[in-house]
Amino acid sequence: MKQERWGNIGSKFAHLTSAHPCYNEKAHFTTARIHLPVAPRCNIQCNYCIRKLDKCEHRPGVASSILNPREALVRVDKYAKEMQNLKVVGIAGPGEALANEDSFETMRLVHEKYPDLIKCVASNGLMLSERVDDLVKAGVTSVTVTINAVDPEVGAKIYSFVRYHDKTYKGVEGAKLLIEKQFEGLKKASEAGLNVKVNFVLIPEINFEQVKEVAKKAAENGAIIMNIIPLIPLNRFEKERPPECDELTMARTIAEEYLPQFRLCRQCRADAVGVPGQEPCGSPIQQRTSSEYYHA
């Protein structure tokens, strides 16, 4: 199974994965990417997540400002001129990319002007099956979906609520809906020809036993690579411990039976730019702080 999966990533998606620093370990150290912070709103609440406007905090969910699509295109213009190694344009928040229409308009504008750049989005997967066609039309070729559980009982410990089509679901009901939509989205995205990666936030005391099942089911539904990342203790999980190095290694070893593992994730900001891990603190763009950006 392991060799077969690595073969798939090396052939079908080689033209994408060879240049993407979040899929290819060699590209990770040489290729620049840019995250455009155009997606402030989110449709779920993870117990480890705090979305925030901040200049220097280095983690997902953080950006110095929120841009509209035209401003985002100007930012791509700037760095496309300055960075000859810029290959990837992504949207990774600070909220949920697919819950913000500006994500689609931004990618459309970027794709029209820079058709050769790889476009990717990060998502929780809730709306993925419904928006796959829109992603393809906007020029997106890669999508990363964060899936932290297969068992709704476990998912209920990780997610405070799920907001789907103007209705809020909580507990096991919300987790069950989210998990069903995530794997439905993976399958549809893969069938549409998208390059699909799965992220898994490892919370040792809660979802370690879910690693194998998530990897197995993700592979069955078309994912080609997996990224297991350690919990950053925040929000309701501020007292949860992050995994030890040996636990992270063990989880990756277990999951690797089903999917190739990416081991170099930097857990980047939503406005990151440059080669992963080498960008300066914060963003050069002037901060805007209106609370309307974070109205879910």
Q: Each residue of 166-214: pLDDT tens digit?
A: 999 999 999 999 999 999 999 999 999 999 999 999 999 999 999 999 9
Outline where DSSP puts E strands in the chain. Answer: 32-35, 44-46, 52-53, 62-63, 86-91, 118-123, 142-146, 159-164, 167-169, 195-202, 225-230, 273-274
Lowest mean pLDDT among 16-25, 139-148, 157-166: 16-25
Contact yes or no for 288/65 (Cβ under 8 A): yes
Q: What is the pLDDT of residue 286?
A: 38
Please give the residue that has the higher pLDDT: either 62 or 131.
131
Domains of the chain: 2-276 (3.20.20.70)
CA distance 188 to 200: 20
Over residues 101-124, the mean pLDDT reads 97
How would residue 266 be classed by pLDDT, with cut points 50, 70 and 90?
low
Q: What is the pLDDT of residue 281?
A: 45
Q: What is the pLDDT of residue 269?
A: 73
pTM of the model: 0.85
CB within 8 A of 280, min separation 6: which ones? Answer: 274
pLDDT tens track for 218-265 = 999 999 999 999 999 998 999 999 999 999 999 999 999 999 998 756
Mean pLDDT (the chain) is 85
CA distance 49 to 222: 27
Over residues 74-83, the mean pLDDT reads 92
Please give the residue that has the higher pLDDT: either 30 or 134.
134
pLDDT tens track for 14-66 = 555 555 545 555 544 457 889 999 999 999 999 999 776 666 666 766 577 79
The angle subtended at Cα 241 by Cα 236 and Cα 246, nearest 5°, is 145
Q: What is the pLDDT of residue 284?
A: 45
Over residues 271-277, the mean pLDDT reads 70
C-alpha 246 chain-centroid distance: 24
Q: What is the pLDDT of residue 293?
A: 35
CA distance 140 to 89: 9
